[in-house]
Amino acid sequence: MRRWILALDISHWTLTLDVRLMEQPEAVREAFEQEFGRFARFRGAESAAFDGLRLADVETTLRELSDLRTRHTGKKSALANLKKQIGRAAAEERAQFAQAVQQLEARIAEEIAKVERALQDTAARLRTERERLDVTLPGRRIRRGHVHPINLIRQRLEDIFVAMGYTVEDGPEIENDFYNFTALNIPESHPARSPQDTFYTTDGFALRSQTSTVQIHAMQRRQPPLRVIAPGKVFRRDTPDATHNPMFFQIEGLVVDRGISMAHLKGTVTEFLRRLFGTDVRTRFRPSYFPFTEPSAEFDFSCFKCGGTGCALCKQSGWIELGGSGMVHPNVLRAAGVDPAEFSGFAFGFGIDRMCILLYDLDDIRLLFENDVRFLEQFD
């Protein structure tokens, strides 16, 4: 008796369970449809659903769709759970239940696939559009840069000296007292040391005021015999005007060997100027004073414009002043560790910007430092 009641009970319980079981696929479908609703507008590939969508939007939607698929068909989904229940369903209802679950699964898969295809087609179309190449468009011309006029002249000067057997030497733009002054035999009291003339850093270094500093570096580095030129920037506390700029360029020359004399200096400077301006050019040396040379001379060359008869460029003098020169002072040789009893040398230096102004017939040095491309473009 007791057993019968229990059996009835169980069958009643099974029945209610089965009714609910048959309702479940419908509930799962509804949950899916609800979430899937926002993707439904993408069902047809050709529809206006994609108008205005950017590729990034389409790609994001595709990712979201893939998340939705995982949620609704993945291992932990309500659908997977339904599939597990097929085996447990009451025998008389199992087939019907299984069929409902299968249909549901197919429907979900198909809905997702339809939208996915449409989105993928659209993404492909947008990608092609982005990569579209109009081969009939004119090419874009590459804008070529220009070598700065100062560098054009520097290269010309270097070429001449290199052809004459010189090496191009470099040195720092920030120097200590030794290289900028002491080794160059510039006395403590010399006005060039004054902060009114030379720029100093707060910790006492000088921005080099002349490329002559490289003479010392070159001798220390190479030891004679040597033949070097050193082009580079120099700095002086000048107010900019048509002929001055606080930063400008110089080129230094130094030859140290046994038996070097003033004749070598004059021959070298003259030969250099002949190669630059032509064989008609004449040079002249005027006695002068520089602390690092003895004897010292400034040198001029005959005006390349009028040939020496006098014109506006040479201020009617027929001569153009170029630079300073002389025989390297024994104190300078000694400071660089060179024995003046064995070696002698000559040195010279002049402004590259000044040479640039002369050669290009410019009337203001500041043009070279303003970096106005309308000016710079003219030097090709």
Classify residue 265 by burial, with Cβ atoms within 10 Å: 0-12, 13-18, 19+.
Answer: buried
Complex with ligand DAH: residue 231 or 324, whichever CB lies closer:
324
Question: Which residue, 24 or 211, has its beta carbon nearer to ligand DAH?
Answer: 211
Q: Residue 145, Cα to own-chain centre: how many angstroms?
A: 14
Nearest to 226 by CA among 262, 194, 256, 252: 256
Nearest to 50 by CA among 156, 159, 126, 104: 126
Q: Smallest distance, Å, CB 324 to ligand DAH?
A: 3
Q: What per-residue string of b and e applies to 36-59 under the rule 16 or more CB within 10 Å gives b?
A: beebeebeebeeebbeebeeeebe
The window from 61-69, 111-119, 132-140, 345-353 that contacts ligand DAH (CB under 6 A) reads 345-353
Nearer to ligand DAH, 24 or 210 (CB): 210
Taking the complex as a whole, the smallest distance from the CB of residue 377 to ligand DAH amounts, in Å, to 31
Q: Which two tokens stand for residue 174?
A: 């920030």
CA distance 119 to 61: 8
| 212 lies in the binding site for ligand DAH (CB under 6 A) | yes
Which of residues 308 and 349 has its CB atom nearest to ligand DAH in the complex?
Answer: 349
The yes or no reply on residue 232 touching ligand DAH (CB under 6 A) is no
User: Which of 324, 338, 355, 358 is close enough to bind ligand DAH by CB under 6 A?
Assistant: 324
32 binds ligand DAH (CB under 6 A): no
Would you say 256 and 328 are in contact if contact means Cβ atoms under 8 Å apart? yes
Q: Which residues contact 163 (CB under 8 A, 6 or more apart)?
A: 275
Residue 249 touching ligand DAH (CB under 6 A)? no
Question: Would you count residue 213 as binding ligand DAH (CB under 6 A)?
Answer: no
Binding ligand DAH by CB under 6 A: which of 77, 268, 293, 344?
Answer: 293
Sheet with 283-290, edge to edge strand ranges:
167-168, 226-235, 247-257, 344-351, 319-328, 293-302, 283-290
302 binds ligand DAH (CB under 6 A): no
In whole angstroms, how close is the CB of 325 to ligand DAH at the nearest point? 5
Q: How far is the CB of 210 from ligand DAH (least distance, A)?
A: 4
Query: Residue 348 CB: number of other CB atoms within 10 A?
Result: 24
Pick between residue 28 and residue 327 the one whose CB is nearest to ligand DAH: 327
Closest CA to 79 of 110, 62, 100: 100
CB atoms closer than 10 angstroms to residue 182: 16
**Stretch in the footprint of ligand DAH (CB under 6 A) among 7-15, 158-166, 319-327, 369-377:** 319-327
Q: How far is the CB of 197 from ligand DAH (least distance, A)?
A: 11
Chain positions contacting ligand DAH, by CB under 6 A: 210, 212, 252, 290, 293, 323-326, 347-349
